[in-house]
Amino acid sequence: MRIITFLLSLALLTNCTESAKQETYQKPNVILIFADDLGYGDLSCYGSPVNKTPHLDKMASQGIKLTSFYVAASVCTPSRAALLTGRYPIRHLPGNLGPESKNGLPLDEVTIANLLKEQGYATAAFGKWHLGHATPEVLPTGRGFDTYYGLPYSNDMIKPWVQTEVPLMMYEDEKTVKEVQYEQQELTNEFTQKALNFIENNQQKPFFIYLPYSMPHLPIAAPDNFLEKADQNLYRAVIENIDHGVGEIMDKLDALGLADNTLLIFTSDNGPWHNLPDRMLQKGNERWHSGSVGPLRGAKATSFEGGFRVPALLRWPAEFPAGVVSEQMLTTMDLFATIADVAQADVSKAKTIDGKNARSFLNGTSNTTPRDTLFYFRGKRLEAVRIKDLKYSIRTPENPELFNLETDPSEMYNIVDRHPEKVAEMQSLIESFAAETGANLPQIQEN
């Protein structure tokens, strides 16, 4: 009898302890900052000898810096679609949208904002959307965000750069509030201020802010005080304006006592826009108004590392260790799965999730990342795969390439002839994933 009583008491104590844990778990705030066309080498903590980014450097020292962090596409729309759904864009929105586009992220896709809103989060998006604008249903307020302020697509999608009669409008929720033309010096500050106000007004409950800055996508612009500080180097001024905005957000979190339990993330949607089309070289745009890929090869709109590998900083003092630099692979799709976990969100309504939950890796309870494979898409075309340190590319199938990214991140030395068994394995994996997703494979060109 005493044994039964003891077991019942133990069970009751266990249940009470678990209930207490659930009651005391304070869901973290989440702020996801997504720069546009920012290169791997554009921050001083990633080796830039020009741009001064003290606030992002501080964020890196207080959290985790990832040196093998990837987007799921090297252009704007599909990269954002993958970030917000945790799914390769071949599954839903593989190509860029424009001013005349009538489609958007399919309405049956579940976004991270949908999941967090269900968990009681206040949700907001401030900045560039680029996932549909033709109807209210595809705007952010139709995709899980309580409020929105920003541009519906890229800041260059007006004449003379893009031949369209559609004016570039600033949206507030579902309504347009003003036309945006060439004077875009205050765009970054405007989005930052909206985020600061939202933090102030929602500090009593968990919140999720998606802050996709329009810069440094061309045309770039910065306030005069940043230009002066940057010795009239326009690109540097733009990056330092973004860095200042991140600093203001960190200061606000500190002032309100929210820093410890806020997961703050900074990354970019793809690499810098090199090899500009001639249409962009108007109204003051110059070829050097773009960023750096550092030691990497290629840039935006390519399947080289410079298009897909981007800076990524994560800070959550309540759980993540400080001062960590990791070369292990993660992606924006993994942010979806990780944020869902820390918010205790139910992902069962989502479709096939390609993202991996990296929480245990990021908080140090696991030594390895949950991801060892990444596929590189350009639109509907599957061009490469990375497995651990090896990257196999068939972008020119008559001349396939294999690189060891640990020793050759610049993709300079093709070792395809040295590892035939690995090549066969990776070719098979590409063909299998293409069949699963309906992707196209590059074809050998006939002479």
Which residues belong to the active site?
76, 130
- Coil vs helix vs strand at 412: coil
Counted residue by residue, the chain has a size of 447
Buried b (16+ CB within 10 A) or exposed e, 10-34: eeeeeeeeeeeeeeeeebbbbbbbb
Closest to 242 measured CA to CA, from 375, 48, 380: 48
SS3 64: strand
**Residue with the two structure tokens 């304070």:** 26
Q: Give CA–CA dist 336/316, Å, rounded.
A: 16
Concatenate the DSSP letters of all residues of 366-401 into one string. Answer: SSS-S--EEEEEETTEEEEEEETTEEEE-SSTTS-E
Phi-psi region of 284 (alpha: psi -120 to 50; beta: other; left: phi over 0): left
Q: Contact 243/33 with Cβ under 8 angstroms? A: no
C-alpha closest to that of 377 among 86, 157, 74: 74
d(CA 406, CA 309): 14
34 φ/ψ angles, rounded to the nearest 5 degrees: -125, 100
The CA–CA distances, whole Å, from 180 to 60, 116, 245 equal 34, 31, 21
Distance CA 46, CA 113 (A): 30
- In the numeric block, the tokens 């309580």 are attached to 146
For residue 65, give the H/E element and its range.
strand 64-70
